[in-house]
Structure 1
């Protein structure tokens, strides 16, 4: 895509850090302006969409042209479900290209891409579809495929602009990219077939997996919050937590919350307790992100909560004893 100095790219404060770095790099190259929607979670879906529209108005009011907006299906940290369907419609209404970061989308949420009709959608399959890494999805409607003329690195099926105007080589472009390993992609049919065999209660296949994970995350997050005596991050409508991930606040004084402490807690939980969690700092508190998977049960959330309680009770950082 060609960006002019008057073009603006809009994102949210929950954007994945690597993608923020990408936008910063684009801004250096094209002198485009980045507008970030800063908001404190939890917020309702209405508030999130209103914040976004206000940013579009502000951008235009400052003489800039909103060209591209990037937002999540489910953000990484905090892990909350964004109203991406509504945000996509808002982009379409305002003539802004929508770029959806669906890293936590495929396999976790019900997705109907033709109905959603984003301008760009990117996901991966190793998080929630259970394929090997280096297996991803790039969905681009035909109307926008002319914008992606090359892969990185440029593959064998690249066409010069005059040739590309005569034929659509979008798929062929990605079919032969230097030394890329195609075997992860070949695992997708087996992963889908395995998922269709899953039966949980009276549900089977994708519906069984998605429903089970959402319910487990909702109930499991509350169990951990009860163990720690804190709360789950969600809004009044419970839409932020309408996914397979949950965020529980840790009972730590704001005065000692830090990224260093979060890293230390992660190391202890992952390496010494053999329980994979993601402790992170958000605003003035430390939170733990927990993911529900079809191979987990409530006992695993209970074990995580008890381990966190024990670690927070006994673990010392910089000479200070952390008490709950």
Structure 2
């Protein structure tokens, strides 16, 4: 029997999995690193940005590419759609979604663009796009572009959060934003939010926000850029209006590949892919003639058919999805074992790193922020107050930052770049760094080829680099 569980705010059904007693399965950690393409001298502590793939999947990738080159037309026109359906079926099973609701796009940003660019905004100018201030920058700029290009038909409303907050605070902030939108005589149409936010890398209560959207009559668009392969996802239970998740980050799929889910009820809203291609079906009322389609006839739904071919691209990564899922099952022991190891490592490794740095991890009272494979560790460096802050809207600074060495606000960007260049140039590693509430944080990614020793090494390295910053060494660069 399975236990009822919630990961990243998404209802899932899991079995109780122990990290011990995994006879016959590979051992996670350093011993697994040789199965990946990582440079032996490089410490890959930032898997969350671009991911990486096993050697076995690189072999499959090149196999598909070779087949496409050997017989381009037979493969691309006839074999590729069948292989693509196999990957769709495999990923649908992982997401607990009907296969007819999932297709592939190049990345999560493309999925968000596809949804927002297909929205039809009311001429009365009252429609609003809601989003939380932790939204990924590329998606935030997509919102900005949609507002700009709608010529007054759509506007946006940012929902501020101050971490570490509780999940209930997130829901309350959403309700407040909806109320404020209505009070301003606006119409909240759609809300964009995460599974796991990027910076800071924290779990977001997306299932609860999805439910709140339903209750408020607002469409839900989940940006799961950090999602599949990192946390357990049950789309049947969560039932969002739109969901996209990068497969090339945590599912060990080559770049770029993301699964795009649209339930049957909303597929008519997705009139076109981005860009528009052969699968587009003009409305009968448009009175347009039928255009020649050079692709083989298909009996698939208009939605699935549209996303099957979107211009000429190297779509071999899409075909690798089923192979990656199979590799994770047969070699790594399956999704539950992988997720359990990553979560355990993130929590233990994050705690160890914070101890070495003499700081803390970003966590709330309920412990829900660290429910994924990423953890945010504070650095022993503070940033001076922003002199340009609007009066009455001063920063909510981390109270623990008061006793730390302070870098002037005007030099914060230069310091971040100096730290990153030093990490890459002298230590052959990279960590996502960000300034939040007046201090620096580092986002660590836990992966099956890492262990606690890697987190300790990363923390010791950061400690020495921060000490150099405190001495002003960055200013001499």
- Normalised by the length of structure 2, the TM-score is 0.64
**Mapped partners of 2:285, 2:347: distance in 1:** 52
**Shift, 1:168, TM fit:** 4.2
Asked if the contact 1:198–1:208 (Cα under 8 Å) also holds between the matched residues in 2, the reply is no
> Which residue of the partner structure matches residue 466 of structure 2?
312
Report how far residue 146 of structure 1 moved: 0.9
**Could you tell me which residue of structure 1 aligns to residue 357 of structure 2?**
228
1:163 Cα offset (Å): 8.7
Q: Do the aligned partners of 2:257 and 2:318 also contact (CA within 8 Å) in 1? A: yes
CA–CA distance in structure 2, aligned partners of residues 211 and 87 of structure 1:
25
Q: Match of 1:182?
A: 315
The reply on whether 1:193 has 2:326 as its aligned counterpart is yes
1:260-275 to structure 2, matched below 5 A, reads: 260-275=414-429
User: 2: CA distance between counterparts of 1:84 and 1:259?
Assistant: 31
Q: 2:450 corresponds to which residue?
A: 296
Deviation at 1:198, TM superposition (A): 4.2
What is the aligned partner in structure 2 of residue 242 from structure 1? Answer: 371
* 1:301 match: secondary structure: helix
2:243 aligned with 1:121, yes or no? yes
CA displacement at 1:270 relative to structure 2: 2.4
Query: Any conservation in 1 of the 2:226–2:249 contact (CA below 8 Å)?
Result: yes
2:335 counterpart residue number: 206
Shift of the 124–307 alpha-carbon distance from structure 1 to 2, 3 Å rule, reads same
TM-score scaled by length of structure 1: 0.93
**Preserved CA contact (<8 Å) 2:468 2:474:** no
Q: Could you tell me how far apart the structure 1 residues matched to 2:370 and 2:378 are?
A: 14
* Unmatched tracts of structure 2, length 5 or more: 1-118, 287-299, 385-406
Give the gaps of 5 or more residues in structure 1. Answer: none
Runs of 4+ aligned structure 1 residues displaced above 2 Å come to none
CA-atom RMSD in angstroms: 1.6
Equivalences for residues 9-158 of structure 1 within 5 A: 9-30=129-150, 31=152, 32-158=154-280
Q: In the aligned structure 1, how far is the partner of 2:269 from the partner of 2:367?
A: 38
Cα displacement (A) at 1:244: 0.5
Residues 156-167 of structure 1: pairs in structure 2 closer than 5 A: 156-162=278-284
Q: Deviations over 1:80-132 (max 9, x none)?
A: 00000000000011110000000100100111112111100011111000111
Distance in 1 (alpha carbons) for counterparts of 2:425 and 2:174: 40
Distance 1:14 1:173 in 2: 31
Aligned length: 314
**Aligned partner of 1:169 among 267, 279, 302:** 302
Please state whether the residue corresponding to 1:143 is helix, strand or coil: helix
Tell me, in whole angstroms, the C-alpha distance in 1 between the residues paired with 2:439 and 2:468: 19
Does structure 1 residue 8 correspond to structure 2 residue 145?
no
Using the alignment, how far apart are the partners of 2:475 and 2:465 within structure 1?
Answer: 15
1:212-235 deviation per Cα after TM superposition (whole angstroms, max 9, x unaligned): 101100111111111110110010
Q: Which has the higher contact order (CA 8 A, sep 6+)?
A: 2
Confirm or deny: 8 A CA contact 1:245 1:292 kept in the other structure. Answer: yes
Q: What whole-Å deviation, never above 9, does each CA across 1:284-323 have from its counterpart, x for those lacking one?
A: 1111000000111111001101111111223512259xxx
| TM-fit CA distance, 1:161 | 1.2
Q: Which moved more, 1:248-257 or 1:287-296?
A: 248-257
Q: How far does residue 263 in structure 1 lie from its aligned partner after superposition? A: 2.1
